[in-house]
Chain A
Amino acid sequence: MALLTIKNLCIEFPGRHGTERAVDEVSFDLSPGEILGLVGESGAGKSTIGNGIVQLLSAPGRVSSGEIFLNNTKISTFSSKEIIKIRGSRVGFIFQDPMTSLNPLFTVENQLIETINKNLGIEDSKEASRIAVDLLDQVGIPEPEIRIKQFPHQFSGGMRQRVVIAIALAGDPELLIADEPTTALDVSVQDQILSLIRKLCRERQVGCLLVTHDMGVIASVTDRVAVMYRGKMVEIGKTAELLTSPKHEYTKSLISAVPRSSKKIERFPLVEYIETTAKGLKHIDVKTHWLGQGTRHENIQDLLEIKDLNLSFVTRDAFLKKNRKYLQATRDVNLTVKQGETFGLVGESGSGKSTIARMVAGLQKPDSGSIKFDGVELVDNPDPVAVKQARLQMQMVFQNPYSSLNSRMKVDDIIAEPIRFHRLAPPQEIRTIVGDLLDHVGLGRAAGLKYPHEFSGGQRQRISIARALASRPRLLICDEPTSALDVSVQAQILNLLKDLQDELGLTMLFISHDLPVIRQMCDRVAIMRHGRILETAESEDFFEHPQNEYSIELLGLMPRFDKIYEVEATV
């Protein structure tokens, strides 16, 4: 008997320019104790289904047709009063970001107990608080009696997500809808949360609808998976079967675009389904073009040398110096990046990898240590001209393409700004050069007249790359350049970076938390934790024979395709 049955569900968003159908004729069912993965790229309508089930669609969205049954009760026609009774008590919800899904002004106890009061009908506060402590214990929060009195900001991200899960389970629901429950978390925490969800579903025979964009998560935790594409469900089946022998074209290309952690390949296969790059772009010969002329290729060995780099932030200010508390962001960091290579920095959030990038780029001043670029000392160098010349040769691509471009400037001006500022080309040639750059990153010169908001995330990241190239850098610092992008777009951007590196002989400092991406991109990697570099190795060596204990642990936790079989074996 199915726990949840969805038949021909359509969800529409009426707008000024006609009605947009976000979910189109989707049908599936879910059994108790089963975890069904809903996978797809952004805008595929996967979260919309989850929200549609309990009528939490943001206005003006509505279920336009189709039926939803929960344990044979038709809930799609429920009034808002009836659906409130279902929320929490029969359907539990887990959201993506544990940092924002708890109310910051109330204690965990308060938020748990109001849920227990409402959903279990327990008014006795002693009884309710006993249940609450018990729930926290079940989701693995140590010292629940003490922690329950605390406010959300006193918990770490992973612990907060556990609290969220405890709240979702407080009403003893039959169905759990988890909307990207681990996307905002680090790999090691992600693994814990996923096993927790899996364990709870098995023990309590709760059906779980797991919405995610991450194929690794799908592979490691779901029983069955449904693939969504532009509101339609293109394929559904057992996870192991679907991932190993996908039938639909979209599923095939989606799976092939996911960076593998198992072996390195030259280029990423593209998902032709989604965003094809513009055709008929002018091809420029880098050897003769302005773009290729700035880079001097002297055969120096180490382009970037970092020695004993230290930086600490004040976390608690005090009047007296001895009372201040510091966070050591980087601790005696030593690394060298060779000319022409891609050097990866890996680590979990807070490990200090972005801080290093910021110090190299000059956005942050180190407390002590030395950064040498092409032999020029960048820290406390008395010669500002030399430092400026060196900085000109290093550029940065940031993580979030939505906030790293000035929304009031045209793309042309965004890209031309560094050329104008550093007077790298005669003014009359700038327009042509900018156009060539736009062609070269696959956008087309017509894009120059538009504003950033007219582009998708992937296209914006291309603009960021073009802007970085505009000062003809030798070193490109990429700080999580694809973390905000979909898998298919990520593949395109990574390919673009690889191509550019080949043509221009760029050296890259590549920062990512995503191990498979690191494996595909980098020649050498350094693994960081708590501001220290634990291990530096050739990329292939690192993935095949990690030396450090933490590296081994991290690699073991990484969700990957080849893990499906293990999961199958243990079930």
Chain B
Amino acid sequence: MAQFLLKRLLQVILVMFVISAFCFGIQDSLGDPTRELAAMSMSDEERENLKDTLGLNDPLLVQYGRFVGRAVQGDLGTSYFFKEPALTVILKKLPATLELAFAASIIIITISIPLGVFCAIRPRHWFAKFTMAVSVIGISIPVFLTALALIFIFSITLGWMPSFGRGEIVEVWGYWSTNFASWDGIVHIIMPAIALSSIMLPLFIRLVRAEMLEVLSSEYVKFARAKGMDSLTVYFKHALKNTMLPVITVGGVQIGIMVAYTILTESVFQWPGMGFMFLEAVNRSDIPLITAYIMFVGFLFVIVNTLVDLLYGLINPMVDLVSGK
């Protein structure tokens, strides 16, 4: 176990190093931040002074060295716009995004597993065929269109749902702001979560179905039947657990991607999360914030992957993380 985690730590360092180099490389071509920061009437001399204080006139390698040195200490720079440490800005926006991704994951898991299993064990049933057909449509429609359609139908036409924002949020543990503590918050998160899950959900249904079909044709499922197990035990004990192995591998990564790319959903619903923040940061050429965001998301990916591997090892007895096989 220790060996596994140590290996992972080395990987994290390598990945973060590559990402930081990449982020730093693109900084130059992102435009002059002083243009956004400075007042209209600022003279060139004043602007140069500002650049000096921000360290933008130093050689690139010096800037990079400074950047890495600070990043190691948890300082990813100060946002030009918010005038606050970039990491603090991101961490403030983090709960909104994580809760949105969490809600979407709940939707995906609770719907895709039963539907996928059903489509696998009753492939000729009309509902299975219907689900398969709809899932193709679901995959093909872009997220922002689904989001706009939801707003048009449920917020504008019917007036049932709020169309933007997080609604009433409650602070817990002094830091985390949650949607799940009030009815208003829950109502606000429903539509963004549906929109965010709309691409992944059909993918997962198809994935669960395909894996389940594969497992159902395996010898041990036949043997389980031959030793007298009833269909429910065969499907939900013997087959489902085996189906989940590849689903966890693919699914974990997909959910990681979902956290990272909430940008579209968040901007349509004006959701004050990391994605929305990133979009604004790009508009404002807020380079430290952009860099910090990319590095943070990279970090998140590695963490999610590690968690997925640990979970996989927990379910599959053939993977022995303890002895590092």
Contact = CB atoms under 8 A, between A and B. Distances in A.
A95 B223 contact: yes
Interface string A93-116: 101010011111111000000110
B256 to A, nearest CB: 24
Contact of B226 (A93, A107, A318): A93
B242 interface: yes
Interface string A113-132: 01100110000000000000
B226 A88 contact: yes
Contacts of A100: 218-220
B224 interface: yes
Nearest to A102: B220
A115 B224 CA distance: 9
Given A104-B317, A105-B241, A56 B220 contact: no
A128 to B, nearest CB: 14
Nearest to A167: B227
Contacts of A119: 227-228
Contact of A105 (B222, B230, B242, B323): B242
Interface in A111-155: 114-115, 118-119, 151, 153
A153 B318 contact: yes
Contacts of B238: 103, 106
B63 to A, nearest CB: 36
Q: Give the interface size class of chain A.
A: 35 or more
B227 A97 contact: no
A87 interface: yes
Contacts of A89: 228
B79 to A, nearest CB: 41
Contact of A103 (B3, B220, B225, B228): B220
A93 B219 contact: no
A86 B229 CA distance: 11
A101 B223 contact: yes
Contacts of A84: 228-230
A93 B324 CA distance: 37
B230 A97 contact: no
A531 interface: no
Nearest to B225: A56
B244 to A, nearest CB: 9
Interface in B204-263: 218-220, 222-230, 233, 237-238, 241-242, 245
Given A151-B318, A153-B318, A316-B325, A104 B220 contact: yes
Contacts of B18: none
Interface core residue of B237, B245, B317, B323 (most chain A CB under 10 Å): B317
A105 B312 CA distance: 11
Contacts of B223: 93, 95, 101-102, 164, 167
B169 to A, nearest CB: 41
Contacts of B316: 104-105
A347 interface: no
B315 interface: yes
A87 B318 contact: no
Interface in A294-333: 316-319
Interface in B111-125: none
Interface string B50-81: 00000000000000000000000000000000
A87 B225 contact: yes
A84 B232 CA distance: 12
Nearest to B244: A105
A411 to B, nearest CB: 30
A167 B225 CA distance: 12
A254 interface: no
Interface in B72-107: none
A87 B227 contact: yes
A187 interface: no
B227 A103 contact: no
Contacts of A317: 324-325
A526 B315 CA distance: 44
A153 B242 contact: no
B229 A114 contact: yes
B242 A95 contact: no
Interface in B181-195: none
Given A97-B219, A316-B325, A319-B3, A103 B226 contact: no
Contact of A171 (B227, B237, B241): B227
A54 B227 CA distance: 10
Nearest to A325: B325
B227 A85 contact: no
Given A105-B315, A151-B317, A151-B318, A95 B227 contact: no
Contacts of B227: 87-88, 92-93, 115, 118-119, 167-168, 170-171
A294 B228 CA distance: 62
Interface in B284-311: none
Nearest to B239: A103
Contacts of B230: 84, 118
A88 B218 CA distance: 18
Interface in A151-169: 151, 153, 164, 167-168
B216 to A, nearest CB: 11
B222 to A, nearest CB: 7
Given A103-B220, A318-B324, A153 B317 contact: yes
Contacts of A318: 3, 324
Contacts of A115: 227-229
Contacts of A151: 317-318
A103 B220 CA distance: 5
A87 B317 contact: no
B228 to A, nearest CB: 3
A169 to B, nearest CB: 10
A171 B227 CA distance: 8
Contacts of B315: 105
Nearest to B241: A105
B310 to A, nearest CB: 16
Nearest to A83: B228
Nearest to A91: B226
Contacts of A56: 222, 225-226
A95 B220 CA distance: 9
Contacts of A114: 229, 233, 237
Given A114-B233, A115-B227, A171-B228, A95 B222 contact: yes
A140 B29 CA distance: 73
B228 A104 contact: no
B317 to A, nearest CB: 4
Contacts of A106: 238, 241
Contacts of A92: 227
Contacts of B218: 100
A211 to B, nearest CB: 13
B106 to A, nearest CB: 25
Closest 7 CB pairs of A and B: A88-B228, A93-B226, A100-B219, A87-B228, A88-B227, A101-B223, A151-B317
Given A103-B224, A106-B238, 14 more contacts: A84-B228, A92-B227, A93-B227, A101-B219, A102-B223, A104-B220, A104-B242, A104-B318, A114-B229, A115-B227, A115-B228, A153-B317, A167-B227, A171-B228
30 contacts: A54-B226, A84-B229, A87-B225, A88-B226, A88-B227, A89-B228, A95-B223, A100-B218, A101-B219, A101-B223, A103-B224, A104-B242, A104-B318, A105-B317, A114-B229, A115-B227, A115-B229, A118-B227, A118-B228, A119-B227, A119-B228, A153-B317, A153-B318, A167-B227, A170-B227, A171-B227, A171-B228, A316-B323, A317-B325, A318-B324
Interface of B: 3, 218-220, 222-230, 233, 237-238, 241-242, 245, 315-318, 323-325
